[in-house]
Amino acid sequence: MDGSVLGINPDAAPNNLDPYWMPFTWNRQFKKDPMLLVRAEGIHYTSVEGRQILDGTAGLWCVNAGHRRERIVRAVQQTVEHLDYAPSFQVGHPLPFELAQRVLQLLPGGYDHVFFCNSGSEAVDSALKIALAYHRVRGDAARTRLIGRARGYHGTGFGGISVGGIVKNRMFWGPLLNGVDHLPDTHDLAHNAFTRGMPEHGAHFADELEKICALHDPSTIAAVIVEPVAGSTGVLIPPKGYLQRLREICDRHGILLIFDEVITGFGRLGTGFATEYFGVEPDLITCAKGLTNGTIPMGGVIARRGIYDAFMDWADATGNTIELFHGYTYTGHPVAAAAGLATLEVYKEEGLFQRCAELAPYWEEQLHGLKGTRHVIDLRNLGLIAGIELEPRPGAPGKRAYEAFRRAFDAGLLIRVTGDIVALSPPLIVDKPDIDRMFETVRDVLQQID
């Protein structure tokens, strides 16, 4: 990057860190001892000090094809030179139409429309609104209740934190949306600790949905939303049969099932989406992150056949000329759509989803080699995702994992921590020696801390 374009030196630390209020960050601690990244290439970042940092988290679960891919960079540059912005209200441009077609090609044939937005948070709020409106346009307006899950993460919009189930994400914002209930999470250390892949025990957790239906009357429930694999809460793998059971219960009661695939979409499990991996087809799928390889913000909602048509039929019957009263200034943004199209080409040309599937057994083996390492009480994996749960320090939950995060960075590895859980999710271009280094570094760090 040419610093003269920005009027700053992009490789140098800023002279004042204070004005920027950082998200999900211990701001005071960070600004005392900042960890600044200034460049990226492949599976590595470069720190402001010039150190190489192995990216063990694909940025924030999003850089699935690796950093600074030339095809994606060129697509962004050429598009912004040709068309920087175009509105999407009653006007359009070609790129999001093409991108929607390409996204649908990654899914089973039961899906036919994509609504674009700008992030996973917006995708979730959009999906919840589409679900509520779908029942209304079909004459079933009593269905207003939404069901999330404990320890679920669905972004930070008011809809997403209402159906989400992470306490600190919810506790500051008042009563949130009315008419929301939650399933229990599926985490069961007593039965499933150190399971490789999907746990055998726990499908019965889905039966809690029947109890919620009995409590509220299923005719009042619009949708259930879950992450197929809960990522941000610490990599919770669904038990065998659990998602199938949720699908069956939703079908029985006319409830829409939403999969939040912001993390699992675009190859993270070795398939295009988790719906293919698990063989369970939800009614709506949210996506973001890997859609553009993290290059330009973009998200989307993918709808099964019949949902879009219900809105068209309602508009025809009522004389409305707008079928969905929802959207964003940057819906289908041309530069984001170009990044998405180029990203999908990289995935396809390099066979990255298949590469993930082929590497998954080696990834699993190396992860579970950490069993017996100091502080480790559980190991979880699926695809190229790993969760390493640590025993909390007495009276100081989260502090042990945070120290591991800082020490790993100093040792040249970027990891993600949530509570006392370390999460790893590298770019899909990772090689076996890189995997070895990740787990060796984690082992060394954990042996060093109290």
C-alpha 254/C-alpha 78 separation (Å) is 46
| 57, 425 contact by CB (below 8 A) | yes
C-alpha 49/C-alpha 387 separation (Å) is 29
**Which part of the chain has CATH 3.40.640.10?**
73-350
The two three-digit tokens of residue 16, written as one number: 């004042």
C-alpha 225/C-alpha 257 separation (Å) is 6
C-alpha 61/C-alpha 229 separation (Å) is 13
In the block, which residue shows the tokens 């599937």? 357
Instruction: Give ∠ CA 436-438-444 in degrees, rounded to 5.
Output: 100
C-alpha 146/C-alpha 224 separation (Å) is 6
Question: Would you give the end-to-end CA distance of the chain in angstroms?
Answer: 41
C-alpha 291/C-alpha 306 separation (Å) is 24
The contacts of residue 132 (CB under 8 Å, 6+ apart) are: 143, 144, 146, 222, 223
Strands 52-55 and 44-47 turn out to be antiparallel
pLDDT of residue 3: 63
Sheet with 37-41, strands from edge to edge, namely 37-41, 44-47, 52-55, 413-414
| 435, 362 contact by CB (below 8 A) | yes
pLDDT of residue 9: 87
The contacts of residue 294 (CB under 8 Å, 6+ apart) are: 58, 59, 60, 62, 63
CA–CA distance from 103 to each of 106, 180, 404 (Å)?
A: 6, 31, 37
Could you list the pLDDT tens digit for every one of the 450 residues in the chain?
566 677 888 888 898 999 999 999 999 999 999 999 999 999 999 999 999 999 999 999 999 999 999 999 999 999 999 999 999 999 999 999 999 999 999 999 999 999 999 999 999 999 999 999 999 999 999 999 999 999 999 999 999 999 999 999 999 999 999 999 999 999 999 999 999 999 999 999 999 999 999 999 999 999 999 999 999 999 999 999 999 999 999 999 999 999 999 999 999 999 999 999 999 999 999 999 999 999 999 999 999 999 999 999 999 999 999 999 999 999 999 999 999 999 999 999 999 999 999 999 999 999 999 999 999 999 999 999 999 999 999 999 999 999 999 999 999 999 999 999 999 999 999 999 999 999 999 999 999 999
The two three-digit tokens of residue 221, written as one number: 């429930």
The distance from CA 78 to its chain's CA centroid, rounded to whole angstroms, is 28
pLDDT of residue 5: 73
Q: Which fold has domain 3-64+351-448?
A: Aspartate Aminotransferase, domain 1 (3.90.1150)
CATH 3.40.640.10 fits 73-350, yes or no: yes
- Predicted TM-score (pTM) of the model is 0.97
C-alpha 416/C-alpha 438 separation (Å) is 12
**Which part of the chain has CATH 3.90.1150.10?**
3-64+351-448
pLDDT of residue 58: 98
